[in-house]
Amino acid sequence: MLKLFTESLGAFLTSALADMEERPVVSFVLPGAVAGKNALSLFLSSMVENTDLRSSEVKYAQSEYGAVAIRPPIRLKCNYVVSVWPVSDNLAEAAFVQMRLLSAAYSILSSVNTLPQAFIPEIIKSQDIPKPVIAISKDDLHNRPEFWTSSGCMYHPAFSLSATIALPIAEEHYEHIVKGVKTDYKINQKQRN
């Protein structure tokens, strides 16, 4: 589910930025250049369950094999570091390309609270689970020098994006459940003579 969502997020950004002359490609690996292309990096930096959205309500349904317990999905908060890596050898031009693409990506992502319907993966549409929620985040990982050092890059302008997605939990099947019992009591009546 996380892979599908991340790829869909990349497809949405690629589509939204397709009219720009820089035509960026989306990369999901550690931030860095993509040979010969302007790259928009969507690096998943952390994920944790959002316990504020946790629900304990279990729904039960009947199936041909017995009862099924459908647990509410886990709500997973994912943080992405969004950065741009221009292809230009001219440092001044590269800086402006970076600014244009980063501000365009920021503008697009801050104007929506979920992916447009056309980009939501089919598995999410077909299940009865909440749609992904996206928002610009205050996570400051991109401001920490150790992040860039550990990724082998010089400091780079970036922003953080938070996405909360629902991860379905496997259904629990119960085979020997009594579905219902029908009783027919006959009352013996004594005949009086």
Instruction: Please tell me the predicted confidence (pLDDT) of residue 187.
Output: 66
Average pLDDT, the chain: 81
- Quickly state the pLDDT bin for 185 (edges 50, 70, 90): low
Range list of β-strands (E), the chain: 25-27, 39-49, 59-63, 66-70, 74-85, 133-137, 158-167, 172-174
Give 35's contacts (C-beta < 8 A, 6+ positions apart).
none
Strands 59-63, 158-167: pairing kind: unpaired
Residue written as tokens 């390309």? Answer: 97
Q: Where are the domains positioned within the chain?
A: 2-42+80-162
Instruction: Please tell me the predicted confidence (pLDDT) of residue 183.
Output: 63
Is the pLDDT at 173 greater than 60, yes or no?
no
Give 148's contacts (C-beta < 8 A, 6+ positions apart).
31, 154, 155, 156
What is the rounded distance in angstroms from the CA atom of residue 15 to the CA atom of residue 7? 12
Instruction: Please tell me the predicted confidence (pLDDT) of residue 166.
Output: 84
Span 90-111, average pLDDT: 92
What is the rounded distance in angstroms from the CA atom of residue 111 to the CA atom of residue 107? 6
Q: Which amino acid is at 122?
A: E
Is the pLDDT at 109 greater than 90, yes or no?
yes
Instruction: Please tell me the predicted confidence (pLDDT) of residue 82.
Output: 93
- How many angstroms separate the Cα of 147 from the Cα of each of 7, 30, 103, 142, 167? 23, 10, 21, 7, 28
Is the pLDDT at 78 greater than 80, yes or no?
yes
- Quickly state the pLDDT bin for 101 (edges 50, 70, 90): very high
Q: For 128-155, write each residue's pLDDT tens digit.
A: 777 889 999 887 777 787 887 887 877 8
Tell me the whole-structure pTM to 2 decimals: 0.76
Is the pLDDT at 76 greater than 80, yes or no?
yes
